[in-house]
């Protein structure tokens, strides 16, 4: 959802918006294609749910050296 809202929708043309309205173009497919062509991911295995949630909060709040993420930050 965040990828579609923040990265796909802002780049749509008026013609693409009309195609979406008519059902000739689908945001889900465009988002899938955008992810496959432009993004990568990494993951960390945590021993339990509380540790995974704590790590997620630290990342989303910008506590790591990379700073706060562009998508889904804690505000």
* Interatomic CA distance for residues 21 and 37, integer angstroms: 24
Rounded to an integer, the average pLDDT of 8-27 is 97
Least Cα distance to 70 among 36, 38, 28, 30 occurs for: 38
Tens digit of each residue's pLDDT (9 = 90 or more) over 18-75: 999 999 999 999 999 999 999 998 899 999 999 999 999 999 999 999 999 999 999 8
- What pLDDT score was predicted for residue 1? 86
- What pLDDT score was predicted for residue 19? 97
- What pLDDT score was predicted for residue 75? 85
HSE (side-chain half, CA atoms, 13 Å) at 15: 0
pTM, to two decimals: 0.74
* Interatomic CA distance for residues 23 and 52, integer angstroms: 39
């Amino acid at each position: 959802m965040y990828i579609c809202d923040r990265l796909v929708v802002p780049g749509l043309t008026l013609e693409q918006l009309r195609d979406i309205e008519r059902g000739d173009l689908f945001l889900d497919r465009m988002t899938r294609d955008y992810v496959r062509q432009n993004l990568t991911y990494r993951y960390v295995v945590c021993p339990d749910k509380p540790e995974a949630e704590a790590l997620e909060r630290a990342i989303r709040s910008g506590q790591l050296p990379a700073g706060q993420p562009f998508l889904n930050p804690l505000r």
